[in-house]
């Protein structure tokens, strides 16, 4: 996680970004601490990435890399505003001694990649269409040695995979089918017949942008319908308020990079 010290909404590359409404920085920082406390309270260690001036989107720490089995596949951002963030993530991972592989292809880390260790022997799901290049999916497969399933995103409001799909545990997912191409919807239905399907209300409440440890599902407090669905499926929803961060086009998952060492 990266504290939102320099966070503000400065540019519009993301249809969720509400550049007209000013961000209450104090509240943004308070909400971010609420998320941090919630994760710590569930027993998860949290490492902090030091924020850097001029990089307001560093708070969306999920986008800076993708880690599977201790190997770090670095990010290469699509937009120049975020490009320097990748080096900060690289330094973070190198300082902790992880194996880091620099990417040649444009990809936005966990924004567009996720990993399910128990789905079909270990599957990486990868989104493309807005940020990450499909060539990065092949590159990630070479670097990480796990099958990568490419999924085309078709609605600019779901510009990253993590706005439309999330693992609920090591083998199952929740997703909003309409964010994906018809072909990708078929692929998901084939691979995850037991998935939870979110509806438009859940998706627009940013309810898919969640973090789950397989039991507790941390999701933003506006997504009450999504919370009810995951509860009905046997998980424990943990709502966290993150309205200020939503103004920058991200929610819970966007703020959290998983280490998977």
Please pick, among 89, 160, 216, 255, the residue that the annotation labels catalytic.
160
Least distance from C-beta 91 to ligand ARG, angstroms? Answer: 20
Residues with Cβ within 8 Å of 131's Cβ and at least 6 positions away in sequence, in order, are: 78, 106, 107, 108, 111, 112, 159, 160
| CA neighbor of 174 nearest in space, from 205, 139, 133 | 205
Least distance from C-beta 62 to ligand ARG, angstroms? Answer: 4
- Cβ closest to ligand ARG, residue 17 vs residue 238: 17
Least distance from C-beta 110 to ligand ARG, angstroms? Answer: 6
Residues with Cβ within 8 Å of 156's Cβ and at least 6 positions away in sequence, in order, are: 15, 130
Strands (E) across the chain are located at 65-68, 71-74, 99-101, 113-116, 123-128, 148-152, 165-167, 173-175, 196-197, 211-212, 216-220, 236-240
Please pick, among 89, 93, 137, 254, the residue that the annotation labels catalytic.
254
Dihedral angle, C-alpha 99, 56, 179, 69, nearest 10 °: 10
Residue 255 burial class via C-beta count within 10 angstroms: exposed 0-12, middle 13-18, buried 19 and up: buried
Task: Respond yes or no: is residue 255 known to be catalytic.
Answer: no
* Contact set with ligand ARG (CB under 6 A): 13-14, 17, 57, 60, 62-63, 82, 111, 160, 162-163, 248-250, 254
How far does CA 49 lie from the centroid of its chain?
A: 16
Least distance from C-beta 250 to ligand ARG, angstroms? Answer: 3
- Cβ closest to ligand ARG, residue 4 vs residue 248: 248
Task: Respond yes or no: is residue 2 known to be catalytic.
Answer: no
- Cβ closest to ligand ARG, residue 78 vs residue 233: 78
DSSP code for 192: -
Q: How far is CA 98 from CA 29, 46, 121, in A?
A: 29, 16, 23
- Cβ closest to ligand ARG, residue 143 vs residue 153: 153
What CA–CA distance (Å, rounded) separates 230 from 172?
12
Least distance from C-beta 231 to ligand ARG, angstroms? Answer: 24
- Cβ closest to ligand ARG, residue 63 vs residue 71: 63
The residues annotated as belonging to the active site are 160, 254
């Amino acid at each position: 996680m990266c504290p939102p010290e320099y966070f503000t909404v400065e540019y519009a590359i993301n249809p969720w970004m509400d550049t007209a409404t000013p961000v209450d920085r104090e509240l943004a920082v308070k909400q971010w601490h609420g998320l941090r406390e919630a994760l710590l309270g569930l027993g998860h260690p949290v490492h902090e990435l030091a924020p850097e001036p001029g990089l307001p989107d560093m708070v969306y720490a999920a986008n800076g890399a993708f880690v599977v089995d201790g190997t770090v596949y670095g990010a290469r951002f699509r937009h120049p505003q975020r490009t320097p963030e990748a080096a900060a993530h690289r330094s973070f991972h190198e300082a902790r001694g992880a194996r880091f592989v620099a990417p040649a292809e444009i990809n936005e880390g966990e924004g567009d990649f996720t990993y399910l260790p128990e789905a079909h022997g270990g599957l990486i799901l990868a989104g493309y269409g807005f940020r990450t290049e499909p060539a990065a999916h092949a590159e990630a497969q070479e670097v990480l040695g796990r099958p990568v399933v490419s999924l085309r995103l078709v609605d600019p409001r779901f510009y990253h995979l993590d706005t439309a799909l999330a693992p609920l545990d090591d083998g199952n997912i929740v997703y909003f089918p309409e964010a994906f191409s018809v072909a990708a919807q078929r692929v998901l239905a084939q691979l995850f017949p037991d998935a939870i399907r979110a509806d438009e209300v859940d998706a627009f409440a940013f309810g898919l942008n969640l973090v789950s440890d397989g039991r507790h599902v941390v999701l933003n407090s506006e997504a009450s319908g999504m919370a009810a669905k995951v509860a009905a499926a046997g998980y424990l929803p943990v709502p966290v308020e993150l309205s200020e961060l939503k103004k920058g086009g991200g929610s819970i998952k966007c703020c959290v990079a998983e280490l998977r060492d």
